[in-house]
Structure 1
Amino acid sequence: MDLQRVCHGLTPAWFDYLRDWDRTLRGGNYPETTRYNYLLAVAQLGRYLIENADELEAGDAAQDPTEVERGHVEEFQAWMVTTRSASTALNKHKGLQQFFKWLVEEEDLERSPLDRVKQPKTAQTLIPILGDAETAKILATCKDKGFLSLRDEAIIRVFYNTGVRLSEVAGL
């Protein structure tokens, strides 16, 4: 992961905190995708504060993450819901929660600005499940007995019978 790229446009103070937090996450053996998503959430908050510093009265917070207040986070979250989605805002919320929790643990903050910030509500969406007919059509694409067809059929059956995630099958 290119931390310089993730932190593009942030002040040195924001970058230093993100670099140190990334070191802690790496030391905790967090997966790279988790680290990236967490760091991106914090970097996006930092850039949002820089771009909206005057309107949000966030000049200090735009320079230093230890100056972020509850209202700044709520405005960022509302902006995320409006410009992205509630699900995206929820993911960012979780990343920010972890970052500010770490700042409290490091004793750089007495209290997290997210302590009383509610998570964005997301609509419960049901994931469509393939029926027997759709599954049969997919398995029919593996009709010959060559290695690739047998492999593909095995992978499809693992997905179908266990509900496993793609990343989990890829790790087998």
Structure 2
Amino acid sequence: MNADEAAPLKEAIAAFGKHLRVERGVSPHTLRAYLGDLDDLCGYAIAVGVTEPEELDIGVLRAWLARQHALGRARATLARRTAAARAFTAYLHRRGLLQNDPGPLLGTPKAQRDLPVVFTQDDASRLLDTVDTQGPLGLRDLAVLEVLYGTGVRVSELCGLDIDDLDTERRTVRVLGKGGRERTVPVGEPALRAAQDWLRAGRPALANEGSGPALFLGARGGRLHPTSARRIVHGRIAEVGGVPDLSPHGLRHSAATHLLEGGADLRSVQEILGHASLQTTQLYTHVSAERLKQVHRQAHPRGTA
């Protein structure tokens, strides 16, 4: 089969990608994931002789997913690929390219959610209280860690912050989250103090004409990139030793867990984290429960068999 014969299906996937980006405003990460899944579906469909969108039926989709399972794909991957296929066939059906939508007939593999590794509150204190703040990069790194842990923002959200997003009087930060949703997040005193020290004595030393309004800067003066922020987190944790090697997302998990351990209600944590669904936030109740059970086993005289 030549490329021309497969063009209609590939063109439909490209049009769907544009729809996701322009009309639905999905994040670049989600867009890449969905298009990667659909490229895989396209490759399978072409291999079995399907080249037109109208030929995508339930048999083709189930056979593709069965092959994914046979290849050992994780349940989370299978669930996402099922969701991508459903969204694509629904789009084709709305556009009149598919007479009957097979998407609703697909079962959804239940994704296994492993409980995230998090800091204890003592771990977080050890990290944040021992960061070497010598020089502008030291001030920046402490501010990055404090804001990540103190607000629970995603690393992409942190790197997207501008100076004006930080309201020192109200002690809040304005965050642009997934899907372009804006939220206001409280900032604790240590994070606020670290950010102010960075703005006063660190940022001016790195800023240049290309810095723009970015709150956090890289070593060359440009806006801090998420990859660099991840490197900062891993590097500073390695300097402490004896605590889990967490990513920025691990600090977000830790912040959520510690909020719940401190008595915050689930809805408030959902608002702070910017979760669209409360179900996502409920994961942290399981984390807290597991930690409580661990404490009970260690501390109670009859906590173990």
Same fold (TM over 0.5): yes
- Structure 2 spans left out of the alignment, 5+ residues: 162-305
* Mapped pair 1:50 → 2:69: no
Of 15, 22, 34, the match for 2:17 = 22
Question: Is the CA contact 1:80–1:86 (under 8 Å) kept in the aligned structure 2?
Answer: no
Deviations 1:52-80 (A, max 9, x none): x2xxxxx3xx2123211112212222322
Which residue of structure 1 aligns with residue 97 of structure 2? 108
Which residue of structure 2 aligns with residue 98 of structure 1? 87
Deviations 1:126-163 (A, max 9, x none): 11111133323432552234221222112212222232
**1:14-163 equivalence runs, <5 A:** 14-28=9-23, 29-51=25-47, 53=48, 59=49, 62-83=50-71, 84-140=73-129, 142-163=131-152
Higher mean C-alpha deviation, range 131-140 or range 143-152? 131-140
Change over 3 Å in CA distance of 1:141–1:47 after alignment to 2 = farther
Deviations 1:84-127 (A, max 9, x none): 21111111112212111111111112332111111111223111
Higher mean C-alpha deviation, range 38-47 or range 70-79? 70-79
Deviations 1:8-47 (A, max 9, x none): 9981111221222233233213333322222221111111
Aligned-pair RMSD on alpha carbons?
A: 2.3
Separation (CA, whole Å) in 1 of partners of 2:117 and 2:32 = 29
Give the fraction of aligned pairs with identical amino acids, expressed as a percent.
Answer: 25
Change over 3 Å in CA distance of 1:124–1:10 after alignment to 2 = farther
TM-score (norm 1): 0.78
Question: Is the CA contact 1:14–1:63 (under 8 Å) kept in the aligned structure 2?
Answer: yes
Separation (CA, whole Å) in 2 of partners of 1:130 and 1:10 = 54
Separation (CA, whole Å) in 2 of partners of 1:23 and 1:159 = 32
TM-score (norm 2): 0.47
Higher helix share: 1
Change over 3 Å in CA distance of 1:30–1:105 after alignment to 2 = same
Separation (CA, whole Å) in 1 of partners of 2:89 and 2:14 = 14
Change over 3 Å in CA distance of 1:86–1:10 after alignment to 2 = farther
Letter in structure 1 aligned against 2:61: V
Higher mean C-alpha deviation, range 136-145 or range 87-96? 136-145
Separation (CA, whole Å) in 2 of partners of 1:170 and 1:114 = 37
Question: Is the CA contact 2:53–2:98 (under 8 Å) kept in the aligned structure 1?
Answer: no
- Structure 1 spans left out of the alignment, 5+ residues: 1-7, 54-58
Q: Which structure's CA Rg is the greater one?
A: 2
Separation (CA, whole Å) in 2 of partners of 1:31 and 1:116 = 27
Secondary structure at the aligned position of 2:115 is classed as coil
Change over 3 Å in CA distance of 1:122–1:25 after alignment to 2 = closer
Higher mean C-alpha deviation, range 156-165 or range 90-99? 156-165
Of 3, 8, 12, the match for 1:13 = 8
Change over 3 Å in CA distance of 1:153–1:129 after alignment to 2 = same
- Which stretches of structure 1, 4 residues or more, deviate above 3 A after TM superposition? none
